[in-house]
Amino acid sequence: MKYFIPEYLNISNVEITEKMRNIYLNKWNEGCEEYSKYFQENINIFSKKFIKVYLNGGFHDYKIKNIEIEYIDAGKKYDVAVNLKHRDKEYHLISKDVMNYSAKFDIKERFLLNHYLYGEYYKDNKGFWHHNFLFGDYFEINIISKKFIFK
């Protein structure tokens, strides 16, 4: 995660001092403001459909039905589709020509694949798309790709 740093969200931890809790909360809010500013300044790089859905809650608490990895060209190239469901609607976040896919979670723990908390979508200075998302237990999945499609 670039903007929504999980360590700063963990303000309910009883082992941290009130001073640290305030520092974390301020850092979390700064990250939220930075991302909001980035998103507003770069809103034209996203599809109108994506903007409409994303601005209505940012996929917070959407259910992730599944994550599909499609290998293309004998494993030299692949696409990743994150399929979401919210009420009676389904959405597909598709990363094409993925350059990096990393996942950090422990399936033995109380891993909640269907508890999507926050997602970051941005282009870096080389033009690559980043899709980072954070789950309820602070586990992450991060995808870097050449193209991003929302259906």
Residues of the chain with pLDDT under 50: none
Element containing residue 60 per DSSP (H, E): none
**pLDDT for the residue 54:** 87
Strands 129-135 and 77-86: unpaired
What SS3 class is residue 143? strand
CB within 8 Å of 150: residues ≥ 6 apart: 46, 47, 49, 50, 53, 91, 92, 93, 94
Tell me how far apart the terminal alpha carbons of the chain are, to the nearest angstrom. 23
CA–CA separation, 49 and 151 (whole Å): 8
Q: What is the spatial order of strands in the sheet that 116-123 belongs to?
A: 63-72, 77-86, 89-104, 140-150, 129-135, 116-123
Which alpha helices (H) appear in the chain, and where do they start and end? Answer: 6-9, 18-41, 48-54
Rg value, the chain, Cα: 16
**pLDDT for the residue 42:** 94
